Every structure is written in C-alpha cells, then in structure tokens.
Amino acid sequence: MSICKTMDCCERPRDRAWLIEVSALALFLLLVGILVAVPGRQWAEFALGLSAILLGKNAARFWSGLAVRHAGLAVGGGALAAGVAGLVWPESPLLGIFLIATGVVAFALAVREFTTRR
C-alpha cells in the first residue's frame, strides 16, 4: 500500500513535497543507522551520503515542479566537498568546520524565523 491512500492525492504539489521530504528523511535515517552499525570512522562516507540525499531531494523537487530549496543545495554541496576532502585528506578538519558552520547558520535562520513571526 502506498503512503497515499489514492494516487490522485499525490498530484497536489504539497503532497509531492511531503513525499519527497519524508523519503529524504527515511534515507538519512538509513544512512545514519548503517554507518553507526559498522565499526570505524566513516565521516567522509557520511558526508557523501548526506550530499547524495540532499542533492537528490532537490533534484526530485525540481523534476516534480516544486521549488528547489537553496539551503539544501548549499548544505548538499558543502557536504559533497567535505566528503571528498575527507576521502582525499583523511585528517582534514573540513568536515568538522562544515558541520559547525551548518549548525550555526541553521540556528541563526531558526532564530530569525522565530523572531519575525511574533
């Protein structure tokens, strides 16, 4: 059985967006679960998997006629760069810097959104 009770509900843009977002979240949780289950340090692989999920999610949004999320493109591109750097230069601090910068920007955007809604 599909997520939608009838496929015509998936024709509405909001429902397609929801399916894309839920699918991306499911892939992210699978990625984290697999990498946690396998011993060893795999930060570069995590960053590459994250970039594939985020860039793929935005590609699906684009092909579905939905607005592309620029933050997802930026984070996906940064994760791709950090993952490649982690594979080429394993002791690179780029992934850590990327994660810290992404967290700071996401927090700042959330605070801005919260304060402008009041």
Give residue limits of the domains in the chain: 7-117
Q: Is 86 exposed, middle or buried (0-12, 13-18, 19+ CB in 10 A)?
A: buried
Contact in structure between 40 and 91 (CB atoms under 8 Å) = no
pLDDT at 62: 92
Distance CA(14)–CA(66), nearest Å, equals 9
| pLDDT tens by residue, 69-78 | 877 888 888 8
Q: What is the mean pLDDT of each run of 10 residues along the chain (118 residues)?
A: 46 70 80 72 82 92 88 82 83 74 74 72
Q: What is the DSSP letter of 10?
A: G
pTM above 0.75, yes or no: no
pLDDT at 90: 77
